[in-house]
Structure 1
Amino acid sequence: MPLLRSRNIARWFIDPFSGQERSYWRAITACFLAASTFWLLNALNKVYTTRITYPLEWRYDARRYVPVQPLPREVAVNVTGRGWKLLRRSLMLDVRPAEIQLERLPSTRFVAAQQMRPSLLAAMEGLQLNYVLTDTIFVEFDRLVTRRLPLMLSPTADGAALPFVARFEPDSISFRGPSQVIARLSSPYLVHLPQAPAGSSSGSIRVPIGGPRLVTTNVQDVRVRLQPRPLVSQVISVMPALHNFPVGQPYTIRPVMLRVEVQSFAEDTPRLDMKQVRALLDFGQLRPADSTLQPLLMPTQPPVRGARLLTPLVRVSLAKHPARP
C-alpha cells in the first residue's frame, strides 16, 4: 500500500508535464530565469552587515626605504552596505584601495586601527565602515643603501684554495638593499663557480650573481676567465717507513732522512700537514749489485698539490753476525 501511494503521488506531479511540446519547456525555463533574476535583484538591493577584507595601498618614500617584511595587502573590516556594493567589492570591480601613509621611517614599527580608519572611510564608496577588525599591523623598514664590492671565487668546501685564478668582467658589483643586509655582505664578495665542463679553465664562462633576499645588483651575471695558478715549493725531510726488513739482522741505511719537494698554493702553505707526506722502503726491492733501495712516495691529499722525491736511492748495509766458536 505505501508503495502504491508513493507511485500515485509521483504520477500526480509528472503527468501534467508529460507529452508537452518543446515550446512549453522553453516557456517554463524563461519563467524560472525571470523569477531567479527578480529574486537576485531584490536580494542585492537589501542592506547587509558583514565582514570583508579591504585592499590597502602603502605610501612611503621607496627611493630611501624598503620593507624588510612584506606589507599586508588587505585589512579585515566590518561594514554595512547594499548587496550591489558588497558584490562589487568581492569581484574587485572599480574598488579604490585605502592609501596608508607611512611617516617617520624607519622608526615606525606598527600602524594602529585608528590610524587606518580615515583612509578606509575616504576610500569606501557606498559602504559604511563600522569598525576595523585588525587591531594593529606591524611593519619593519630599513634604509636603502648601495655598496660596491670586489669579486672573488668561493673556496672549496674544505677551505682549500682553487687550482686556478679568476679574472672577472666587471671586477666589482654594486649591491642595493636594506642597510643591515648590505653591511653583512663579505668583501670581497664570493662568487660560486658552477659545475664547469672539462677544459673550461682555458676560456671564460658566465656565472650568475646571487644575493640575499631584497638585495638587487647592477648586473645579473659576470664573465669569469679561469687561469692556472702557480705553485710554491718547499723541501722537507721525511723518515721512511721500513717494510720487509730482516728481523734480528743489524743493518744501517744511508741517508736516514729522505728529502721531498712539496708543492701547494701560497695561501694553503700555513695549513699544510707535513705528516701526510710519507715514504716507504721495501727491503724486498733491494738491488744486490749495489745494496740500494729506491724509495716509494705515498699518495698525498689536498692541500698538497704535488710531491717529488729528491733522494733517488738509499744504501742498505747489513752487519755480519760474529762467527760462533
Structure 2
Amino acid sequence: MRFQDIPARLFRSLFKKRPDEWKVILLCMGVAATIWLLNKLNRDYTTRLSYPIEIDYDQSEVIPILPPPKSVEVNVTGYGWNLLRQSSWLGKRPLRYTPSNLPATRYITNAQLYPAVQEQLPDLELNFIVQDTLFLDFDARARRKVAVVVDSQKISLEEGYRIVSPIRIEPDSVTFVGAASRLDDLPPFLMISIREKEISEDYEEEIELDYPQDNLATLLTPQVRVSFETALFRQQSIQVPVRVRNVPSQLKQPILRDTTVLVNYYINTERPTTLTVDSFQVTANFRQLNEDSTLTLTLSRTPANVFNVTLRPVRIPLRDSL
C-alpha cells in the first residue's frame, strides 16, 4: 500500500463505523480534550487583559463632554484558572474610580490607577498598566434661561387684518441645562415663527421649539403658548386742511396752491369710530421750503385707532404769485 493511499483509507473507514463506535470515539476525544485543558489551566501564564472601569462622578455637578474610558489594559501573571475567570465577563467586577477636582482634572495616570486595579485582582500579579494615561473631558453642569420671541414680521395675516394686541408668549423664557461651555454658546434669544397662513381670527396655539438638542444642552420646556388678537381694518379717506407754520409776514395768505390734502387710513371695523377733519392735523413748515418751491407735509396728529396713515400728495407747491 502506498503512503499516499493511507489518508483515503482512514477517511473511508470512519464512515463505516457503527453508531455505537462513533459514541466511543467522541467520548475519547472529549476526555482527551478535557485532560489537555485541565493540564494547561494548572500552569502560570503572563497575558494582557482588558479590565472594565467605571469613572464615578457627581452627575448633578459635572457632565462628560466625551464618554469616559470604559476599560483599562493590564499585563498580569497568574494561575490559568484565575486568568480564565478574569478574561471572561463572569468574574469581572468593574473598577470604580472617582477622580478628584472635576471638571478641572483632565487625565488619570497609571500610577494613580495601580493600587485600585491591584485590589480588584487579588488572585493575579499585576505587572503593569498598559496605558500611561486615561484622558477625561468633563465640564460643569449649568442652567441658563433664554428669552423667546416671535418673528412678527413673518406672521401671515389675511388681507385687511391687523394684530391689535401685544403678542403674548407663555412662558416668555425657557431653561437649558447642560455643559457650561455649551450653554455659553446659546443665542441671547430663541426666535420662533408662526407657520399658519392668512390668519383672520384671534390666535392661540402651542408651538414646539425647534432647537437642536443633545446631552450637552437639553431644553426643559419644549414648547410655548403664543396668543394675540386680530381685527379687520377697512381703508377710508378724508380731506384735511393744511396748516402752514412760520410764514413770513410780508406774504399773502393763502400761500399754497392747494389748501387741503387727502388723508388715507385704515380703521378697525369692529370698533367703528366717527372721524372728522379735526381728528387729524397736517402741517407744512415754511422754514423748510424745498428748492422746487414746495413744502413737505407732516402728519402731526392722528387718532389712536387708525393704522397705515398716508398723505396724498406729500408735497404741495406754493402759489405762483405770492
Change (3 A) 1:60 1:17: closer
In the alignment, is residue 134 of structure 1 matched against residue 131 of structure 2?
A: yes
The corresponding residue for 1:291 is none
CA distance in 2, matches of 1:31, 1:113: 48
Is residue 162 from structure 1 mapped to residue 154 from structure 2 by the alignment?
A: yes
Other-structure match for 1:254: none
After the TM superposition, which residues 191-202 of structure 1 pair with which residues of structure 2 at under 5 Å, given as runs? 191=192
Distance in 1 of aligned mates of 2:168 and 2:39: 74
**1:39-50 correspondence to structure 2 within 5 Å:** 39-50=36-47
Question: How much has 1:114 moved relative to structure 2?
Answer: 0.4
Code of the aligned partner of 2:190? Y
Q: Does 1:85 align with 2:86?
A: no
Going from structure 1 to structure 2, the CA distance change for 1:76 and 1:18 (only over 3 Å counts) comes to closer
Secondary structure in structure 1 of the residue aligned to 2:188 = coil
Give 1:216's aligned residue.
Answer: 218
- The residue identity in structure 2 corresponding to 1:207 is E
Change (3 A) 1:29 1:105: same
Aligned partner letter, 2:105? T
TM score, norm. by length of structure 2: 0.58
Distance in 1 (CA, whole Å) between partners of 2:140 and 2:124 is: 37
What is the CA distance between 1:213 and its match in structure 2? 4.6
Instruction: Identify if the C-alpha distance between structure 1 residues 8 and 123 changes in structure 2 by more than 3 Å, giving closer, same or farther.
Output: closer
CA displacement at 1:112 relative to structure 2: 1.0
Change (3 A) 1:14 1:178: closer
- Taking structure 1 as reference, are residues 132 and 10 closer, same or farther at Cα in structure 2, changes over 3 Å only? closer
Return the offset for 1:13. Answer: 2.7
Q: Separation in 2 of the partners of 1:229 and 1:45? A: 88
Q: Secondary structure at the match of 1:85?
A: helix
Residues 59, 198 of structure 1: alpha-carbon distance in 2 compared, 3 angstrom cutoff: same
Measured at CA, do residues 48 and 174 of structure 1 come closer, stay the same or move farther in structure 2, by a change above 3 Å? Answer: same
Q: d(CA) in 1 for partners of 2:225 and 2:42?
A: 68
Could you tell me which residue of structure 1 aligns to residue 177 of structure 2?
Answer: 176
Conservation of the 8 A alpha-carbon contact between 2:55 and 2:69: no
- Alpha-carbon deviations, 1:197-236, whole Å to 9, x = none? 86799663552553355122323x3155476999xxxxxx
Question: Residue 166 of structure 1 contacts residue 224 of structure 1 at CA under 8 Å; is this kept in 2?
Answer: no
Compared CA separation, residues 8 and 73, structure 1 to 2 (3 A):
closer
Report percent identity of matched pairs.
30
Structure 1 distance, partners of 2:14, 2:83, is 40
Residues 1:76 and 2:82 aligned together: no
C-alpha change, 1:32 and 1:181, in structure 2 (3 Å) is same
Q: Please tell me whether residue 64 in structure 1 is matched to residue 61 in structure 2.
A: yes
* Structure 1 match to 2:270: none
Contact 2:63 2:139 in 1 (8 A): yes
Is 1:200–1:226's contact at 8 Å kept on the other side of the alignment? no
Query: Contact 2:169 / 2:227 at 8 angstroms: preserved in 1?
Result: no
Superposed CA deviations along residues 90-140 of structure 1, whole A, max 9, x for unmatched, are 331131122222112222222111011111111124222110111012223
Q: Which runs of 5+ in 1 are unaligned?
A: 231-260, 262-307, 312-325
- State the SS of the aligned residue for 2:108: strand
Aligned mates of 1:178, 1:96 — CA distance in 2: 30
In structure 2, what is the Cα distance between the partners aligned to 1:114 and 1:81? 21
CA deviation map 1:279-316 (0-9, x unaligned)? xxxxxxxxxxxxxxxxxxxxxxxxxxxxx9x89xxxxx
| Aligned counterparts, 1:160-309, within 5 A | 161-163=153-155, 168-191=169-192, 204=205, 206-207=207-208, 209-211=211-213, 213-219=215-221, 221-223=222-224, 225=226
Q: How many residues align?
A: 231
Distance in 2 (CA, whole Å) between partners of 1:228 and 1:88 is 72
Unaligned runs of 5+ in 2: 157-165, 232-263, 265-309, 314-322
Deviations 1:158-204 (A, max 9, x none): xx94225976554432211122221221222345x69x686799663
What RMSD, in angstroms, separates the aligned Cα atoms of the two structures? 4.0
User: Which of residues 94, 98, 116 is equivalent to 1:97?
Assistant: 94
Who is 1:23 aligned against? Answer: 20
Q: 1:30 to 1:184 in 2, by over 3 A?
A: same
Q: CA deviation at 1:30?
A: 1.2
SS at match of 1:55: strand
Partner letter of residue 123 of structure 2? G
